[in-house]
Structure 1
Amino acid sequence: MLSSPPHAAHLSLVCLLLLVGFEASLSVSAKPTSLKEVTDGNWEKILTGEWMIEFYAPWCPACQQLQPVWKEFADWGEDMGVNVAKVDVTEQPGLSGRFIITSLPTIYHCKDGVFRKYHGARTKDDFLSFVDEQKWTAIEPVSSWLGPSSILMNSMSALFKLSMFIRRCHNYMTEQLGIPVWGSYVIFGLVTLLAGLALGLLLVFIADFVFPSRRFSSPDYYQKKQVMEQARFIQRQDEDQEADGEEDDDDDDDDEEEHDGEKNDVWRKRRGSPEGRPEPKEQGYADEALRKRMVGSREEEQDT
């Protein structure tokens, strides 16, 4: 009976081991990861259920140290009924503005749309006890007007997205197109100016549409305007005539006063002072001397 050569048996054994290892690698790769990723497009799913969310950046050293612990915590999350997720703020600027991320890493706990910021130790056991013992109930939740679904945070998210878009455009123009930095700034300044003018024109059109002018809302506007102008003109003429009449009256009063003044002067010459005051002393002395002369002449006639 012939037996197979030894090298053939070794070759079959190696093939068998390779096949087993390949199947094991396929099973491991097919296993879904328990760590979820939240993006600007699917972030609303965290509003239902219980979530632990980490905001990180790949370049952050503290975030890099936390990643293995966070993955282990995510593996335990399915058994505890909590969803463990992560957010890359460099790829999701809208979520960075929506949650106002000012430090990295930042961890939030969410229960049915109510958010609380985690401030405890960053170990797997601390994360598990925080969820299992419901320590999050002792933390004050984020106010509704600062919540990620509020109007204010939606505006912040749009602002962060716009800033990231501008930054990418700047990098593309300076690195890919070779435009100098000052040229990129000039382009953004012109675009901002034109956008402001267009927005102002749009607001004017909206205001005219919502609050139309009277000349468009009333067909007989021009007739009413003409009638009002005629009424104002007539009223102005009446006022001018009244003013002329008052001036004439003032002139007549002035004439009468002048005439009365002349009469008073004549009366003073004839009768003296109207107040009955005596004439000046010089005139009195002349009358008295004349009287003495007349008396003296009479006495001389009588003596003769």
Structure 2
Amino acid sequence: MGTENMFLKIRLLLLALFHLRSQPSPPVLLKRYSYKDIKKATDGFRRVFENSSQEASYKAKFQNGRVGVVREVKLLDEDDDSFSKEVRLLGRLHHRHIVALYGFSTGPRRFLVFENMERGSLKEHLSDPLKTPLNWRTRLKIAVGIAAAVEYLQFFCDPPVYRVSISSSTIMLDENFTPKISGISLSGASEHNATASSRCPKECREEGVIFQLGLLILELITGQSSDKGGVDLAEWVQEPRFLRSIHKMIDPDLGNTYDPRELNGLLNVARLCIRSVDETRIYTPQILWYLQKKIGITRK
């Protein structure tokens, strides 16, 4: 145990030194689309993915054949300069498990153009009976992939990124079931993101993202969500006798295909993420190390 703690301390120290010495990423050449381009690519905004008071998403196909997702950002409190600054920050994010930003459009209506994720959201595959159920190995790789993305956002980005919404609804899957975070918000854009407030201390924002990561792991295990009056997964996993009810909570779609040792390891990670405020805090590198070394999950 002492060797493990020493290894984790060294890893955290190296990450901190890397962050201090790292230079900002070079400017990214994002394509600037006209309103006419966006309207034509979305068939007059008729290819709707979702629509809310804060943003709307559309499937888009551009003249060069590129297929993407157009997100209209409805931020009333930001001018064009602030919006452009945020776009540049988003454009510098390059990670295998983060949805890539292709371009943007400004004017009376503001749009972001992202890569298309062929298999839709993780939530669809956990809750839609018409979707092929995700097997155990795929779920494990989703957990470690998203943990790696969170480590990148917090330790390898300058400035660190904490305005992240992590749940089965914001994790998208490509044709190979590679998971990618789509819930990286512009200022104030996510009503569900408790980490977005600039008044919240850095530690509070870090822990907010880690808490969300713990909930995501529980969603992968149970196939359930705490949204909209569902089971309170955070409350369940912190119950002293929660182990007695695990068999009732495991996603029935998994059958008996999961490894009990891996399941217990994943539950331990979730409990560490969703711990009481008076307990010792955990960092993303520790979570990633535990998933990779203790449980033995690898990314391909």
- One fold, TM greater than 0.5? no
More helix by share: 1
More strand by share: 2
Which structure has more relative contact order (CA 8 Å, sep 6+)? It is: 2
Q: Which has the larger radius of gyration?
A: 1
Q: Place the TM-score, normalised by the shorter chain, in its bin.
A: under 0.3
